[in-house]
Amino acid sequence: MSIPRGAISAVRDAQHVFVLTGSGVSAESGVPTFRDAQSGLWAKYDPLQLATPDAFLNDPALVWRWYRWRRELAARATPNPGHLALVRLARFVPQLTLVTQNVDGLHQKAGSRDVVEFHGNLFENRCLNENVIVTDAAECVDVPLCPDCGGPLRPGVVWFGEAIPAKPLETAIAASSQCDLFLSVGTSSAVWPAAGLADSAASNGASIIEINLEATPLTSDSHYNLVGKSGEVLPELLDCLPL
């Protein structure tokens, strides 16, 4: 696609870029979106049967089987050109804040640093009782237990009905109010509170660039809409810069 000159200038002149990524970025690496993961053996389950605190309390072994399957898929995935382009962008701009709604760790695998994980990390285990990350639990049982308190461990992700953890939320809100360019990449812009971060940026004068395959609630408020896959659009955008 042809990148608008204004979009190129906005990136070239930016002092603080805020990047929000969603499931579209990971989908290009073969990681199914949350809804797409309800396929095959899991097609008969509603997400509320697998990704809520109540679901875990009712049948933790079932929830763990699903999350182990998702971990296997994510572990086999490799970063795509979109992930790698964001690493390049971080080297170019004075400051970049990367907030992701994805839980697969592909940004870190690509080389991005200080990634703000809005919805947690698929590969972490969290103690249900103590709400702390546990790194040395036995994984060979249906429901791993906390070596400290003996309570059940759960996947370290944010489930339906749960609040975004305070630290990533505060970091994202602060950065969105301080950036001068907001990039929305591969996200539906429909899930709150992440969907409100662009509003925060815009209200403080930031330019908004959306990169997505289809229109979203953010499209009409964006200064530039780059329609396409992030793995194609982002590298092309960076190729236009004096890197």
CA distances from 33 to 23, 103, 231 (A): 6, 11, 16
Minimal CA–CA distance to 116: which of 107, 129, 127, 124?
A: 107
Which segments within the chain are labelled E, that is strand? 16-21, 95-100, 116-117, 120-127, 133-134, 153-157, 181-185, 207-212, 224-227
Is 223 tagged catalytic? no
138 Cα distance to chain centroid: 27
- Bridge partners (DSSP) of residue 226 are 211
Selected catalytic residue, list 83, 107, 119, 223 = 119
- Structure tokens belonging to residue 242: 């004096």
Say if CB 83 and CB 110 are below 8 A apart. Answer: yes
Burial of 214 (0-12, 13-18, 19+ CB in 10 A): exposed
CA distance 21 to 29: 14
CA distances from 224 to 2, 207, 209, 212 (A): 12, 8, 5, 11
User: How would you label 15-33 residue by residue, b for 16+ Cβ within 10 Å and e otherwise?
Assistant: ebbbbbbbbbbbbbbebbe
CA distance 79 to 109: 7
The residues annotated as belonging to the active site are: 119
